Amino acid sequence: MSQVTLAGVELQLDENGNLIDRSQWNREVAAELAKEEGIDALTEEHWKVLDFIAKDYAEKEAVPGMRRMNKVGGIPTKDLYRLFPGGPIKKAARIGGFPKPVSCV
C-alpha cells in the first residue's frame, strides 16, 4: 500500500496502484491518474467507458471484462485499445477508481 497526492487529494493505493477507497475519487483525480497512464486528456469517449464501468460495478460489484464491455456496454475492443492502450480494462479501472479487474493478470 502506498500514499500519493493527486489533484489535491491524498489517496491510498493498493500494490497495483488502484484506489483502496473509491470515495477519494473524483474527475480531477481521474484526469491525474490518466496522465500517469499516458493519457493526456479524458474525452467524452473515455468518460463513456468510465461511466459504463461505474454503472456495471454498482450492479455486479466487479469491473466488467472485455466481453461484457463489448456486448453490454456496446464498446468495441478496438475502441477500448485506442482509448486505453496497452491494457484497456486494467487502465480504465485504475483511472475510474476501481480495483484491478479479476480478469487481468
What positions carry a catalytic annotation? 104
Alpha helix positions (H), 1-99: 27-36, 44-60, 66-71, 77-83, 88-95
Cα–Cα dist 96/90, whole Å: 10
Residue 22: all three cell numbers together? 473509491
